[in-house]
């Protein structure tokens, strides 16, 4: 069996707390079958880039026209084998998702199939959950295909909604109790399978 960890590219757009959870998991050995080899942002101001730099991880900023072609070039150059969308706020084309089929995963801040799909991202997801009045929400890590938030589910974790929750307090609890736990765990699970050469 192959010994070197799977090369992971993490795609980010914002604060990067999920990226931080992955960096921490790699440091404390919870993520051992994969190694973050590159962080790519479509936003040059993303704080996630600072987190990557602090952890000595190479970064790339790609914006504007021809985004996906430039992204593919960058990923190939880095030898990326698994792509993790961690707060990446851009929908990838069918051409891209087919090229990396079974090798892109995403963390979404709800229990899919609730509050997901086009237009459901970031705080908006929690606003809609509160508006609907659900009592339980959570997070999902899933494979990415051509349907936004439509790929096979890898892991989910439920989180209770409390009576005085605001979208912000709910977002924070979903991150702490679910996203930052299941994203590194799902990443390890997928990398382990890829290392074994098992079907994913
Ligand atoms: C996270 O809650 C993530 O699940 C969500 O945006 C936030 C990014 O935070 N992603 C989406 O809504 C994608 N559909 P982070 O930059 O601190 O990781």
85-124 pLDDT, tens per residue?
A: 999 999 999 999 999 999 999 999 999 999 999 999 999 9
Q: Read off the pLDDT of each residue in 148-174 and give the average, rounded to a whole number.
A: 98
Q: Read off the pLDDT of each residue in 150-166 and give the average, rounded to a whole number.
A: 98
What confidence score (pLDDT) does residue 82 get? 98
Please say whether the beta carbons of 148 and 91 come within 8 A. Answer: yes
Q: Read off the pLDDT of each residue in 50-73 and give the average, rounded to a whole number.
A: 97
What confidence score (pLDDT) does residue 41 get? 98
pLDDT tens-place string over residues 117-153: 999 999 999 999 999 999 999 999 999 999 999 999 9
Q: Which residue matches tokens 């440091």?
A: 27
What domains are there in the chain, each with its CATH number?
A: 6-196 (3.40.50.170)
What confidence score (pLDDT) does residue 35 get? 98
Task: Examine the residue annotation and report whether 142 is marked as an active-site residue of this protein.
Answer: no
* Res. 25: pLDDT tops 90: yes
Q: What is the mean pLDDT of the chain?
A: 97
What is the Cα–Cα distance from 186 to 55, expressed in whole angstroms? 21
Q: Which of 159, 158, 156, 150 is nearest to 185 (CA)?
A: 156
Answer whether 39 contacts ligand 1 (Cβ < 6 A): no
What is the Cα–Cα distance from 184 to 165, expressed in whole angstroms? 26
Q: Read off the pLDDT of each residue in 34-40 and give the average, rounded to a whole number.
A: 98
Spatial strand order of the sheet with 153-160 comes to 59-61, 34-41, 6-12, 82-85, 104-108, 136-143, 153-160
Of 15, 109, 157, best ligand 1 pocket probe by most atoms within 8 Å of the beta carbon:
109
Give the SS3 label for residue 85. strand
* Res. 34: pLDDT tops 80: yes
Atom 17 of ligand 1, nearest CA residue: 17
Answer whether 86 contacts ligand 1 (Cβ < 6 A): yes
Give me the catalytic one of 11, 46, 105, 108: 108
Answer whether 26 contacts ligand 1 (Cβ < 6 A): no
Q: Rounded to whole angstroms, what are the CA distances from 151 to 61, 62, 107, 186, 193?
A: 26, 25, 11, 14, 18
Q: Read off the pLDDT of each residue in 22-51 and give the average, rounded to a whole number.
A: 98
Atom 3 of ligand 1, nearest CA residue: 87
Q: Read off the pLDDT of each residue in 146-171 and give the average, rounded to a whole number.
A: 98
What is the Cα–Cα distance from 26 to 58, expressed in whole angstroms? 15
What confidence score (pLDDT) does residue 198 get? 72
| 89 Cβ contact partners less than 8 Å away, ≥ 6 residues apart | 13, 14, 42, 121, 122
């Amino acid at each position: 069996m192959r010994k070197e960890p799977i090369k992971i590219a993490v795609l980010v757009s914002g604060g990067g707390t999920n990226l931080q959870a992955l960096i921490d998991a790699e440091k404390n050995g919870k993520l051992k079958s994969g190694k973050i080899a590159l962080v790519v942002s479509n936003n040059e101001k993303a704080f996630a880039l600072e987190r990557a730099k602090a952890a000595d991880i190479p970064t790339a900023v790609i914006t504007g026209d021809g985004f996906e072609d430039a992204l593919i070039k960058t990923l190939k150059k880095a030898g990326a084998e698994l792509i993790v969308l961690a707060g990446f706020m851009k929908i990838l084309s069918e051409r891209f998702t087919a090229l990396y089929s079974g090798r892109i995963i995403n963390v979404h801040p709800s229990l899919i199939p609730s509050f997901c799909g086009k237009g459901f991202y970031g705080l908006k997801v929690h606003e809609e959950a509160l508006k609907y009045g659900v009592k339980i929400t959570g997070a999902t890590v899933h494979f990415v295909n051509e349907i936004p938030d439509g790929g096979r589910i890898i892991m989910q974790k439920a989180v209770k909604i409390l009576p005085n929750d605001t979208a912000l307090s709910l977002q924070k609890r979903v991150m702490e109790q679910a996203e930052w736990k299941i994203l590194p765990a799902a990443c390890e699970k997928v990398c382990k399978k890829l290392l074994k050469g098992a079907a994913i």
